[in-house]
Amino acid sequence: NFHHKKANIFICHRILQHHLIFEVRTMNFPSSVIALIVAIGINVAEGCPFASSAGSSKYLPKDHPFVPKFHRRAAEEGEESLWGTNGRLVGSPSLKNGAFDAPSMLTPIAEDGSTIADVVAAMSTSGENGDMCLIRFQQLPPPEEGNFSFDQNATDRLALKVYGDMMVERFNQLSGSDVNEGGIILAVTTIGYGGVESMCKAGIEPERFCDDRLLKTSVRWPQAITGYKLTNKTVDAIKAAIGTWRTTDDGHLPSMLWSFNGGQPDIGGSQVGYWGNAGGLFSKIVRCDDIPEKFMYYQYPNNTATGDFIDPETNQTLSEMVYQWWTDYGGYNDKGEQVFGESPSDSLPEECAACVDAIPCFDDTGCSLLDFESQTWNAPYNDCTPAFACLPCFPECKAPATEAPATPTMAPAT
């Protein structure tokens, strides 16, 4: 079990005003300094998605402070509310069948410094399921302050397309059976049907973005979709490749700076700040042998990858093909057990919809840190205390036999 020891600062703060925004975003660092920050171990590549959607906190980074999400921006009158009752943005990837939110491949999540990459590699070595792979959907929505609209700024909308095409082409060069020990197996991007609709309405490449094959897909928000074959042979090569990818101008760094310096276009940032926050890094551990052969080291025409690519054989977008397979597949937990069924946040009864943000407070770790008598949580879950009223929604969280539990009246966590 990946328990948290204490709530010291990891990366993210300013939670009440903006979801998981980096302080580095406001410091006007040049690319060389950002690269140094990344190189010494601060994970700034993935927008700190660790608490961006409800679900298990098992795979939070070691020492990451618990982050309750009781402070979301409320939709204004006349606006569509885009926060679903499952605690995720409407149109996000499904977390059914063993999917989970997890940190980056380089972020420690255990006392011994192991990362999610190490966990999966160990499963390949010790389990009976053969080599294991990790397939991930990194969600990067527009800024929440504009109610996640792709139309907030025309310059940013175009940059989203440009960076999506650029990054998938670059990351695809890291994928191949003869590159990085064959560890990086998949590189796909989509701007989501929400982004496609916005491009089409704006008249941007209409022959591309007004195509029903792009408009009628399952996921609303931009996604960076990647796959990794994780074994003792590949894990170090994958980590090294990702470390270089994040810290070089010909890798991921330009689009990272565009996001981190958001609102400061004079230093390479987006016009409007906070692109890519409130997203998530939705992951699933799968048997490598179960992945459709077509997806393994996918062969783009002329080895040139583009976003929202339409596979010529199936006449579907590659991102949709991968998503349909991924969401139906039963992922594995770290015990080597295949998991099917709805995610905890999708299985709460309707009367508990207001308690969806409290789900991490009542997982195995959270429940073990709950003092039923005082109705408070011990650190690092002490920010969960307002969620005690939601206890009736989580009947599996019970007081030890020696304690006489309080009986709260269920009410929304505030």
- Residue 184 half-sphere exposure, CB side, CA atoms within 13 Å? 23
As a whole number of angstroms, the distance between CA 41 and CA 92 comes to 29
Q: What's the pTM?
A: 0.77
At 107-122, the pLDDT tens digits run 888 888 899 999 999 9
> Residue for token digits 């994780």?
230
- Label residue 6 by pLDDT band (50, 70, 90): very low
Kindly list the distances between the CA atom of residue 300 and the CA atoms of 33, 133, 192, 194, 314, in Å, as whole numbers in the listed order.
34, 21, 20, 24, 14
Type of residue at 376? T
What's the whole-number mean pLDDT along residues 207-219?
97
Q: Average per-residue pLDDT in the chain?
A: 81
- Contact criterion met (CB below 8 Å) for 150 and 142: yes
Q: Residue 274: pLDDT above 70?
A: yes
Residue 179 or residue 89, greater confidence:
179
State the DSSP code for 89.
Answer: B
State the DSSP code for 408.
Answer: P
What's the whole-number mean pLDDT along residues 365-383?
86
As a whole number of angstroms, the distance between CA 57 and CA 13 comes to 17
At 406 the pLDDT is 58
Closest CA to 225 of 143, 307, 288: 307
> Of the ranges 75-89, 292-306, 381-395, which one carries the lowest mean pLDDT score?
75-89
- Contact criterion met (CB below 8 Å) for 221 and 149: no
Q: Residue 57: pLDDT above 50?
A: no
